[in-house]
Homo-oligomer: A and B are copies of this chain.
């Protein structure tokens, strides 16, 4: 094939050696079985020819692909870009590439993607689809991100949602708040569910101080906050399920003539970009998005290298970021 893309045979011919020898010289793992002189000549020839191995052939032979599938709900949700970036960097450490797919939260779509990627001979999966009931690809190395499986046998990397909510509730309590509400995220999503459970455990609030948003979005947060206010609880602080919901709280409170934080303190979760610029700047919990992705990739690499490796469940620490949306409770509040 002197015309098309060079193959290992072209490299071998150029050096006057057999393809098998060239293969051994090119592969770092088997390089020791070849004379130093031959190695350098083969490497040089490969460089000159611009040889790059045909991974279809390699995959066919070795049954591995050096490609991992990464499946998320929607890249436009600001929590995912840094996670995916971390995943990609972690995969790269091991020479892996990332095949990316969005599901829009549709389990059917997740199944399709999983099938398509498995068809492409993907070595493993990193799933950030966060529906608690999502299925995942059986028989393939898999790591969950931002979500834990109900059965404990699947490795996962998550932020410490419970600790974050506890820190928030403690902050509010220290500020004198006793009537704290919660606008929870969707309970079908593990993050929404975990934070809700942590809130209930930490705040001991009656049901009327809790509302559930239909989505982790500003609009859903807005609507849920209005429902919460209409239920008439006497609250001076709201713990939102995430930052977007918190911004929805801002809007809903403003529409009722309530000021943040003078009348009601509000907190978020995630510390996505620009929430430090809102007015008021949002008190929230910073989660290590990038590191979550990075660790997930490393965990996947470990599992691919040794499928019997322990199914670690890594929980990364979070950090409370106190800003202007939380303040001491006003004593004279009606």
A-side interface residues toward B, CB under 8 Å?
Answer: 52-57, 59-60, 65-67, 70, 74-76, 78, 80-82, 84-85, 88-89, 95, 97-102, 115-121, 247, 273-274, 277-279
With a cutoff of 8 Å between Cβ atoms, the chain B residues found around residue A273 in the complex are 78, 274
User: How far is A80 from B67 in the complex, measured between Cα atoms in Å?
Assistant: 22
With a cutoff of 8 Å between Cβ atoms, the chain B residues found around residue A59 in the complex are 56, 59
* A119 near B55: Cβ-Cβ < 8 Å: yes
Partner of A60, one of B60, B70, B95, B247: B60
- CB pairs A–B below 8 angstroms (7 shown): A56-B59, A67-B120, A84-B100, A97-B99, A98-B99, A98-B100, A277-B278
Partner of A118, one of B52, B57, B119, B121: B52
Partner of A97, one of B75, B85, B116: B116
Which residue of chain B has its CB nearest to the CB of A112? Answer: B92
User: How far is A89 from B102 in the complex, measured between Cα atoms in Å?
Assistant: 9
Provided the pairs A59-B56, A100-B98 are in contact, do residues A75 and B85 lie with their beta carbons within 8 angstroms?
A: yes
Partner of A67, one of B88, B99, B274: B99
Provided the pairs A67-B99, A75-B85 are in contact, do residues A55 and B274 lie with their beta carbons within 8 angstroms?
A: no
Q: What are the nearest 6 A-B pairs in CB distance?
A: A56-B59, A274-B274, A56-B60, A52-B119, A75-B81, A100-B100
With a cutoff of 8 Å between Cβ atoms, the chain B residues found around residue A99 in the complex are 67, 97-100
* B97 near A55: Cβ-Cβ < 8 Å: no
Which residue of chain B has its CB nearest to the CB of A57? Answer: B60
* A102 near B81: Cβ-Cβ < 8 Å: no
* A121 near B55: Cβ-Cβ < 8 Å: yes
* A120 near B101: Cβ-Cβ < 8 Å: no
Partner of A56, one of B65, B97, B117: B65
Provided the pairs A55-B119, A117-B97 are in contact, do residues A85 and B81 lie with their beta carbons within 8 angstroms?
A: no
CB distance from A58 to the nearest CB of B (A): 8
With a cutoff of 8 Å between Cβ atoms, the chain B residues found around residue A66 in the complex are 120
Provided the pairs A84-B100, A100-B100, A101-B88 are in contact, do residues A119 and B75 lie with their beta carbons within 8 angstroms?
A: no
Which residue of chain B has its CB nearest to the CB of A250? Answer: B277
CB distance from A39 to the nearest CB of B (A): 20
User: How far is A308 from B85 in the complex, measured between Cα atoms in Å?
Assistant: 35
Partner of A274, one of B52, B60, B75, B277: B277
With a cutoff of 8 Å between Cβ atoms, the chain B residues found around residue A53 in the complex are 119
With a cutoff of 8 Å between Cβ atoms, the chain B residues found around residue A85 in the complex are 74-76, 102
- With A81-B81, A99-B99 known, 11 other A-B pairs at CB within 8 A are A53-B119, A56-B59, A70-B100, A75-B75, A75-B84, A80-B81, A84-B100, A85-B102, A97-B99, A100-B100, A277-B278
With a cutoff of 8 Å between Cβ atoms, the chain B residues found around residue A89 in the complex are 102
Which residue of chain B has its CB nearest to the CB of A97? Answer: B99
Most buried by B among A53, A76, A89: A76
With a cutoff of 8 Å between Cβ atoms, the chain B residues found around residue A119 in the complex are 52-55
CB distance from A310 to the nearest CB of B (A): 25
With a cutoff of 8 Å between Cβ atoms, the chain B residues found around residue A247 in the complex are 277
